[in-house]
Amino acid sequence: MTFAPTPIPSRTQYVLEAIKHRILTGQLSPGQALVEADLAAQFGVSKTPVREALKTLAGTGLVVMSQYKGVTVRTVDAAMAREVYDVRLLLEPEALRRTITREASLAEAQEALVRAEQAQDRADRSLANRDFHRALYLPCGNPLLASMLDEVRDQAALVSTVAWAADPSWEREAHEHQEILRVALAGDAPEAGRLLHAHIAHFVRRAFPDDQEGL
């Protein structure tokens, strides 16, 4: 017998999305403390949905829970970025190749590119880009592979947001996304995988030029 996952209560979901948006716009900066009572007052809720939202965000890697420091926004540095992008480099191009080989629909990837182009801030753009990449790997036919990539996608969005604050290079990434999608829609799995690998590797190299080990 299988059980469906327990849905997140609406208040918790509201707080979760609000905190995530603040993190990805830089309103909550890396290393900043997140105090349950303060957040509850800001959002007009009890501490319970805030606590549950923070637990979920810790699970996705956007915040860190420490016995001594409490909850803080995750700090982004070259080591953290390298860990996240190593996983993506190993898994994401292969997942895209499988998606293309299966002739799966890429309509959601096309829609995500439109949303990224129309985004009003870094958070919306980052989340749209995250959805674009997910639309490339999700139909790969291997749920475990897709779930492994899902586990790092919020952290990848955080890396991109921090990097864009220093170097707003999203137009370059947007052109790369368009080319990846064009080749994918043409059915060229090897070339699409190669372009995606180069796209991921080049981004983190540009974002952290002083630390190239392992990238």
Each residue's pLDDT, cut to its tens digit, for the chain (215 residues) gives 444 444 556 889 999 999 998 988 788 988 999 999 999 999 999 999 999 999 999 998 899 998 888 999 999 888 888 899 999 999 999 999 999 999 999 999 999 999 999 988 777 887 888 899 999 999 999 999 999 999 898 888 888 878 877 777 778 889 999 999 999 999 999 999 999 999 999 988 887 776 544 44
**Orientation of helix 36-43 relative to helix 10-25, angle to 10°:** 100
For residues 152 and 114, state if they share a domain: yes
Tell me the residue range of the domain where 148 lies.
78-207
Rounded to 10 degrees, the C-alpha dihedral 80/164/22/7 comes to -60
Sign of CA dihedral 85, 87, 93, 98: negative
Dist. CA 6–CA 9, nearest whole Å = 9
Q: Number of structural domains, the chain?
A: 2
The residue type of 160 is: S
Where do runs of H (alpha helix) occur along the chain?
10-25, 36-43, 47-60, 78-101, 107-118, 122-137, 143-166, 170-185, 189-207
Domain end call among 53, 73, 93? 73
Q: Specify whether 93 is located in the same domain as 199.
A: yes
Does 5 reside within a domain? no
Residues 45 and 98 placed together within one structural domain of the fold:
no
Entry pTM:
0.79
Q: Are residues 187 and 82 in the same domain?
A: yes
Domain limit, last residue, from 73, 92, 125: 73
CA distance 81 to 145: 20
Would residue 105 count as lying in a domain? yes
Same domain, 143 and 200: yes
Q: Looking at the structure, do residues 60 and 83 belong to the same domain, yes or no?
A: no
Q: Tell me, yes or no, whether 149 and 162 share the same domain.
A: yes
Same domain (yes/no): 178, 102: yes
Choosing from 32, 58, 73, the residue where a domain stops is 73
